[in-house]
Amino acid sequence: MTQLATEERVGPRRGLLHRLDVKGSPYLYIAPFFILFLGFGVFPLIFTAWVSLHEWSLLSEEHTWIGFGNYTKLFDDPAFWNALWNTVSIWVISTVPQLLLALVLAHILNQRLRGQTFWRMSALIPNITSVAAVAIIFSQLFGRDYGLFNWVLGLFGVDKIDWTANTWSSHVAVSTMIIWRWTGYNALIYLAAMQAVPKELYDSASLDGASSFQQLRKITVPAIRPTIIFTVIISTIGGMQVLAEPLLFGGNGLTGGSDRQFQTLALYLYEVAFGRFDFGYASASSWVMFLIIVVVAAINFGITSRLRRS
């Protein structure tokens, strides 16, 4: 009787522990992510919004409440609009050729090649190379007097270009660095999507006499359209936050050239925060930059989704 009574008491307890384990343990497994996200994602956003409403300088212990004064000042600042234009220009010049080249490169890597693994791994080398090293090398390649690009253009009778002095030339130079660095990365994403496309479709197209380009256009692109949408959105977010390339290009520092000709939004934010130590103004800049990225990404998603449905 005593043993039976003990089992009756232990039974409900085990059932309770089992239910807690089944229902509660999944939340414990995902809790670390949400804790880190709250600490390093949500809290910085809220605190940055709070700081943006103050005159907050690292050189002063007093933080005066000024409301939306930093935002009003920001929208009246010509340097902000110049940085926004530079960011959009560099983003367009770098993203469109980058994704097109990545698509073509992925199509080539998807063919039967000798040393297939080697070529696929080589596509990722530019992405894992140090950004500082890339900027130094490309600064030499785009040098006015002894740069390789000017030497090649000189063979066709083109005068030497001071790539860092003009707006359009500096945008092309910075965009070239971005294209070189990220094309292989996006190509591998496309390649992974292409692996899921049935080979029978390509075999049937080959029997019908379709060329490699026709197969890419008629079979591959429609099949991997969701992946293309993904890379467009990710490239948009990354392109609106370009910092390292214009910061290190040509050794012009935080201003992005003598006349701010290639200063991006991220570089402008960096200048305000760590050049002037004006964290209130920098926080307002970061929030406006965040909202711009959200709007541009949403527009991009809407356009690409409509193209996908069509």
What local confidence, expressed as pLDDT, does residue 223 receive? 86
Q: Helix and strand tally (H, E) in the chain?
A: 16, 2
Q: Are 179 and 246 in contact (CB under 8 A)?
A: no
Kindly report, residue by residue over 282-305, the tens digit of the pLDDT: 999 999 999 988 888 888 778 777
Is the pLDDT at 4 greater than 50? The verdict is: no
Tell me: pLDDT of 45 over 70.
yes
d(CA 237, CA 3): 66
Q: What does the pLDDT read at residue 76? A: 92
CATH architecture of 71-309: Orthogonal Bundle (1.10)
In terms of pLDDT, which residue wins out, 73 or 25? 73
Q: How confident is the model at residue 186 (pLDDT cuts 50, 70, 90)?
A: very high
Beta strand residue intervals within the chain, DSSP E: 54-55, 64-65
Q: What is the pTM of this model?
A: 0.82
Predicted local distance difference test score (pLDDT) of residue 132: 84
- Rounded CA gap, 240 and 244, in Å? 12
Q: Which pLDDT tens digit goes with each residue over 143-185?
A: 888 888 889 988 888 888 888 888 899 999 999 999 999 999 9
Name the residue ranges covered by the structural domains of the chain: 2-51, 71-309
Lowest mean pLDDT among 33-37, 64-68, 84-88, 251-255: 251-255
Q: What sign does the CA torsion over 287, 288, 289, 290 have? A: positive
Average pLDDT of every residue of the chain: 85
Distance from the first to the final alpha carbon of the chain? 74
Q: How far is CA 240 from CA 88, 138, 206, 247, 302, in A?
A: 7, 21, 41, 14, 18
Q: How far apart are CA 83 and CA 191, in angstroms?
A: 35
